[in-house]
Structure 1
Amino acid sequence: MRLSKLLCALALTAPALVMADDRGLYVGGGVTRLEIDDRSFDDQDDSYKLYAGYRLNNYLSFEGAVVDFGEMSDDRRHFDGQSVQANVHLGFPIGQRIRLYGIAGVHAWHADDDVAGKSDDLDPLYGFGGEVDVLGGLGLRLEQEYLDVGDIDLDQTTLSAYWRF
């Protein structure tokens, strides 16, 4: 009888123990590719993204990021900017190592030139992504985000690595 109670208790708590292992602090960084939705612009330039966050469980995490947009230009105009982002990830685990998620948040941006219509503001961002745990706390992430930067729309694709503590 005691053995059956012990097995039932382990069966009920095992999923919670597995999920508890996935929560905690993480940091990461990677290469970002930006595109501006203006056909006359040389709208592709590599930049970088650094981020840190806290995963509450497999489903919900909060994250902050710093992004350097890099430089883009056409014959007459030039764009160079940065962004500080705060967002929420709503995740959906697939198996033990893969997690798909949606992104919603805001970003405070600053543009060095007047292509965006303003030089700085606070605008929304949204997107989606996927990550895979490779080994221990090390993982890889691919995500697509859409950002308003004044009068222009940016598509931000990021490939990064992260470390969970």
Structure 2
Amino acid sequence: MLKKLLCTTLIAAGIGAAHAADPGFYVGAGIGQARYDDSLTGQIRSAYTNDPGYAFVSGRLTDDTDNAWKLFGGYRFLPWLGVEFAWVDFGQVSSNYVLHSQVPLTNADANIDGRYEIAGPSATVFGELDFNDRTSGILRVGAYNAQVDYSETGTGADGQPHRFSNSDDNTKLTYGLGLNVRVTPNWDVRLDWDRYTDAGRRFALTNDGNGRFDHIDFVSLNLAYRFGQ
């Protein structure tokens, strides 16, 4: 679907009127897919190294991608320089880890399913390079606040139901690339790739150490409206 929409946009741009990029405000929205880096196994294994109560058996993301979306607005100070603010929702992904009890209990293993939901605001500075009157490339860098909602359910090593949840946030680096096509004087279509680094906190035996993702990659197709063109 994304490829079909992008092809349609490029054709429309090819037959549309030529308009150079102008300073001013714009707003937009995009949809796509987020892919989470899976480094949980090493984090969980490390957390339980030398733990007297449990031994690590396994840990992984049971799925590492989900649909994602963003809303954004920005201002071009110059045809080639601007700022953009966005709210990004990365969807949710799931994990599983198994621990073996090292003390006598009813059930020797704890089997835990986790769920991560990450969203938050971002602020970036971007530079834009015109390839021609309709098409330009964008390079951006800035910061985002990763708001992580984590919950887990499963069975404890004692055979009893297990539930836990926690919310946390941290501010980290984001950067990305975009290909912008100006379809009309007011409407742009943009294909973006963005990387959001270090979401969450490294897995540890604490309430907020539920897992850190080295990066989340978000590929999106976006529609933007320019004011005053």
Length-normalised TM-score, structure 1: 0.81
* Equivalent-residue separation in structure 1 for 2:67 and 2:143 (angstroms): 22
Three-state SS of the structure 2 residue aligned to 1:104 is: strand
> Is 2:221 the counterpart of 1:159?
yes
CA distance in 1, matches of 2:186, 2:33: 25
Q: How does 1:43-122 map to 2 (within 5 A)?
A: 43-75=64-96, 76-113=113-150, 119-122=168-171
The residue type equivalent to 2:78 in the other structure is N
Contact 2:68/2:218 (<8 A) preserved: no
Residues 58 and 93 of structure 1 are in contact (CA less than 8 Å); yes or no, is this contact kept in structure 2? no
Select which of 192, 209, 222 maps to 1:143: 192
Q: Which moved more, 1:69-78 or 1:25-34?
A: 69-78
* Percent sequence identity over aligned pairs: 29
Task: For 2:118 and 2:65, locate their aligned partners in 1 and report how far apart those are by CA, in whole Å.
Answer: 14
Q: Which runs of 5+ in 1 are unaligned?
A: 1-17
Structure number with larger C-alpha Rg: 2
Give unpaired runs (5+ residues) of structure 2: 1-18, 40-59, 97-112, 153-165, 201-211
Distance between the aligned counterparts of 1:84 and 1:108, measured in 2? 6
Offset of 1:74 from its aligned partner?
3.1
TM-score w.r.t. the length of structure 2 is 0.60
**In the comparison of the two structures, how many residue pairs are matched?**
146
Runs of 4 or more, structure 1, over 3 Å off, are: none
Aligned partner (choices 130, 137, 150) of residue 179 of structure 2: 130
SS at match of 1:95: coil
Give 1:30 shift.
1.1
Cα distance in 2 for residues equivalent to 1:46 and 1:147: 15
Deviation digits for residues 5-41 of structure 1 (CA, Å, limit 9, x no counterpart): xxxxxxxxxxxxx76x611000000103110111742
Q: Over aligned residues, Cα RMSD in angstroms?
A: 2.0
Checking the alignment, whether the CA contact within 8 Å between 1:100 and 1:130 is kept in structure 2 is: yes
Provide the rounded CA distance (Å) in 1 between the counterparts of 2:151 and 2:79: 41
Q: Which amino acid aligns with 1:22?
A: D
**Alpha-carbon distance, 1:45 to partner:** 0.6
Equivalent-residue separation in structure 1 for 2:78 and 2:126 (angstroms)? 11
1:114 deviation in Å? Answer: 6.9
Residues of 2 paired with 1:145 and 1:24: CA distance?
Answer: 23
Q: Distance in 2 between matches of 1:29 and 1:137?
A: 14
